[in-house]
Amino acid sequence: MGCPSVLCGHINPVYQMISGDPSMAEQSASSASVGEASPMRAFLVERRIRESDLITSFVLQPLDGGAPLPHEAGQHLSLFVDIPAVGRQKRNYTISSAPNGRSYRISVKREPGGMVSRWLHDHAEPGTRVEVGAPGGSFVFGAETKRPMVLLSAGVGQTPMVAMIEAVAATGCKVPVHFIHCARNGGEHAFGAHVRETAAAGSAIVATFFYTQPGPDDAAQGRFDIEGRVSIDWVAAHTPVRDADYFICGPLSFLKTFVGGLARLGVSPDRLHYEFFGPVDDLFEEDSGEQGAPPSPAKAPLGRMSQIAAGFTRAQIGDTLIDSAADAVVVSDAQGAIVLWNPGAERIFGFSEQETLGQSLDIIIPEPFRARHWDGYRETVASGQSRYGAGDLLAVPGLRRDGRRISIEFTIVLIKDQSAKVIGMAATIRDVSARFEETKALKKKVAELEARGA
């Protein structure tokens, strides 16, 4: 499991393209300064646990025999693996266990097109060495909470929720907790028995499992409670909508149903916490879209001709593109300070070059998303790797000088010195607000036409 932000290339905190009411945006905890690098550390796979037909857990312990860095239930870590004939790969996975001072547990779904997930399932046996970055992320269980908690998940999205109820049981937290999970059937449902046992051990924890396609033995074995999909109406009728904190994690369509639905039911932004994986367009409208496969790994760059035609050099072409007002070109240093701001950036964001040079990228990032942006930025600087450096187009919200939010798409490249250390990042950015609004209008029109024909 895992989720990019403006100029970060981080898979686990993802930026949602939300062009509407900023009050609906996800609330993020403040982050550490950008200059703090995420330390890398060698770990060994201590054991692997088959959780379901699709999901396997890997318990990771530090190679040096010490304690792992502390984490909060719900946080993720960055995992680096060296795959033969491919090279080093980075993925972010949620830590599916509560803090225990000895190990981390990650629970990985085998994805047909997932290079790293397939490698872990096929090759990561006890004794396999991996490298791990420091835990991060603000999608966390707060031990001091006084409000009821509703943990709402589907598929492999339950991994942070499992860590959270383990933490609830371990800390003796007395607030009511509703653990609601939707799976296809018992074969694909991970942690079912474990969650039941944990709930039984905590008098304030209630677990409810939905199966959309239960198998022949699922009912007899008591593996699920309700057949079908969990709905917003069911959640509204069976959870304390007026008081609870909602933690939501799952596929894109699941997020759109419950983040937007709960907001419309009056759940305030400070009580809506959600995490998802991969860039999306808008969580506050209905859509059936699904996530695509992870971006392809970057290929080694080929040599380029320094002069592609008589009188045209790479430097001249580069200067022409940078000086253009068509697209924004924004370059930041390793600490996240802006060092280049072209006419296109001035046109799109409204800030002049004089206003931006030396300023933090925060000036173009909506405030609720800054903590997650810097989580990813720090990890990319520390690791020297980005999953989004091969032309992958990212969709995120941006912030103009006048305070207005816009929808932008961008690509990033890492700038490295001779020792391969990241010294900056460059992004090419385009304002797609008009196209985004047109797409929303078209979706609405199609939905109306389909409703008439139903």
CA diameter of the chain: 78
Q: Tokens at residue 80, please?
A: 């680096």
Cα separation, 16 vs 287, in Å, equals: 14
Q: Which residues lie closer than 8 Å to 405 by C-beta, 6 or more apart?
A: 18, 19, 22, 366, 397, 398, 399
Beta bridge partners of 105: 59
Residue among 68, 69, 39, 43 nearest 58 (CA)? 43
Helix, strand, or coil here: 383? Answer: helix
pLDDT of residue 149: 95
pLDDT of residue 31: 31
Residues 166 and 261 sit within 8 Å (Cβ to Cβ): no
Mean pLDDT by 10 residues, the chain (454 residues): 32 26 26 44 96 97 95 92 89 93 96 90 96 88 84 94 93 90 96 93 87 95 96 96 94 87 91 66 42 36 43 69 87 91 93 89 89 84 74 81 90 85 90 82 81 71
Residue among 290, 293, 299, 297 nearest 114 (CA)? 293
pLDDT of residue 435: 81
Q: How far is CA 82 from CA 85, 89, 116, 299, 367, in A?
A: 9, 6, 9, 15, 36
pLDDT of residue 378: 87
Look-up: residue for tokens 């149903």?
Answer: 257
Helix, strand, or coil here: 257? Answer: helix
pLDDT of residue 203: 65
pLDDT of residue 266: 93
Beta bridge partners of 57: 49, 107
pLDDT of residue 182: 96
Residues 145 and 74 sit within 8 Å (Cβ to Cβ): no
Beta bridge partners of 442: none
Q: Please report, as a single letter, which amino acid is at residue 23.
A: S
Global confidence as pTM = 0.60
pLDDT of residue 39: 63
Cα separation, 90 vs 191, in Å, equals: 26
Q: Tokens at residue 53, please?
A: 């037909």
pLDDT of residue 177: 94
For 140-175, the DSSP string reads: ---TT--S-EEEEEEGGGGHHHHHHHHHHHHHT--S
Q: How many CB atoms lie within 10 A of CB 106?
A: 26
Using a 10 angstrom Cβ sphere, with 0-12 exposed, 13-18 middle and 19 or more buried, the burial of residue 217 is exposed
Beta bridge partners of 274: 248
Sign, Cα dihedral of 385, 109, 160, 233: positive
pLDDT of residue 377: 87
Residues 79 and 164 sit within 8 Å (Cβ to Cβ): no
Residues 10 and 376 sit within 8 Å (Cβ to Cβ): yes
Phi, psi at residue 371, to the nearest 5°? Answer: -60, -40
pLDDT of residue 312: 59
Q: Tokens at residue 8, please?
A: 């970060």
Cα separation, 71 vs 181, in Å, equals: 24
Cα separation, 410 vs 395, in Å, equals: 7
Residues 140 and 274 sit within 8 Å (Cβ to Cβ): no
Cα separation, 432 vs 393, in Å, equals: 12
Look-up: residue for tokens 């939707």?
Answer: 182
DSSP percent split of the chain into helix, strand, coil, nearest 5: 25, 25, 45
The string of pLDDT tens digits covering residues 428-441 is 999 988 887 787 78
pLDDT of residue 390: 57
